[in-house]
Amino acid sequence: MDFVSPIIDIISRLWNCAAPHGNYLCELKQNLNALESSFVKLKDRRDDVKARVRIAESNPVEPAKRTHEVSGWLLRVETLEPEVGDILQEGTMNGGGSYFCCWGRKNCSSGYKLGKLVVGKLNEVEKLWNESAFQVVVDKCQPDPVQEISTNQAMGMESKLEEVWGLLADEGSLETNINDAAKAITQVLKKRKFVLLLDDIWGRVDLATVGIPNLKTDHTQEATNSRVVFTTRSEVVCGFMEAHIKIKVDCLQWDETWSLFQKVVGQQVLSCDPNIPELAKQVAKECLGLPLALVTIGRTMASKRTLQQWQYAIVVLRRSASEFSGRFGETKFIFFYE
């Protein structure tokens, strides 16, 4: 019986070598099904990751860029997709992997190769799935460095004073010194009746800087008959300017507001998404019925076709409204003379 032991040992070794190869055939159909279902799940995860990246990268408030890890992972999934598709198609063409576990059939060789390939791709899919639980998909972009340079606040005033002087004086040149130039303009205006119009000012206008006489303290006939008229969107500015008479221009009613805003934005943009009209109404309400605001903001939004852009506009408008009263500096020489 001693001759039996070597035979059993040989058979055992042959089986150990052949069994894994036989599994590629016997489990081919099962592995094909597993590959198909696993890759469907992986594609869903890929789409979720891409959506997270797209939302983060389209945020104009906090610019961001996808991480190198996420970029590499997405690239590997995209590369794997056609390879898996070819394998599944080949499996379908060969009866869905229904090979006989029989060494005598002529298709055993191709079945073995396909089975081995399926197992390899299945391992790749599982590895990508295990790597897909990203806590962070983007990195915040650092803003470009900005160099701050101090400039003279009176920059450009000389040209404005020259322009005013050209309207007032028949001859002669203006002093080059700003203070002397302002005094010269003041002396001319004190002898004339004038109306100064300031349109849409957002802060206190320093009239004395450009030589406009103080009509409160000057009691000459010319000063009494002169006027400074300005328009503003805030009653706070009226206080800054020490206005004698305030005339409030009523804002548009809601129907007029919405009608004007729709006309400026255009129906083509409003119909891009069923949710945009509701967001557009919120934007229009933030304009508080001011025609200029409705037209200006409406023109800006006429090119915005995504929900994110409209949502961002609402955030910016509300933030600006809350900070508006604290942002009045001194507006310099923004006027024209008639």
Q: Where are the beta strands (DSSP E) in 71-127?
A: none
Task: Render each residue's pLDDT in the chain as its tens digit; 338 residues.
Answer: 455 455 445 545 544 444 455 566 677 788 888 888 999 999 999 999 998 988 888 776 678 889 999 999 999 999 999 988 888 888 777 655 554 444 444 456 666 778 888 888 889 999 999 998 899 988 887 765 544 444 444 445 555 666 666 666 655 555 556 677 778 877 877 778 888 888 878 888 888 877 788 777 766 665 567 888 888 878 888 888 888 888 887 788 999 999 999 999 999 999 989 999 999 999 999 888 888 889 989 999 998 988 888 988 888 888 765 544 444 444 333 333 33
Look up residue 319 and give its amino acid. R
Q: What's the longest Cα–Cα distance across the chain?
A: 141
Per-residue pLDDT at 21: 52
CA pair distance 15, 21, nearest whole angstrom = 10
Per-residue pLDDT at 149: 42
Q: Are strands 204-205 and 330-331 parallel, antiparallel or unpaired?
A: parallel
CB-CB neighbours of 185 under 10 Å? 23
CB-CB neighbours of 161 under 10 Å? 24
Per-residue pLDDT at 325: 44
CA pair distance 79, 213, nearest whole angstrom = 76
pTM higher than the cut 0.85:
no
Per-residue pLDDT at 251: 83
CA 35 to chain centre: 39
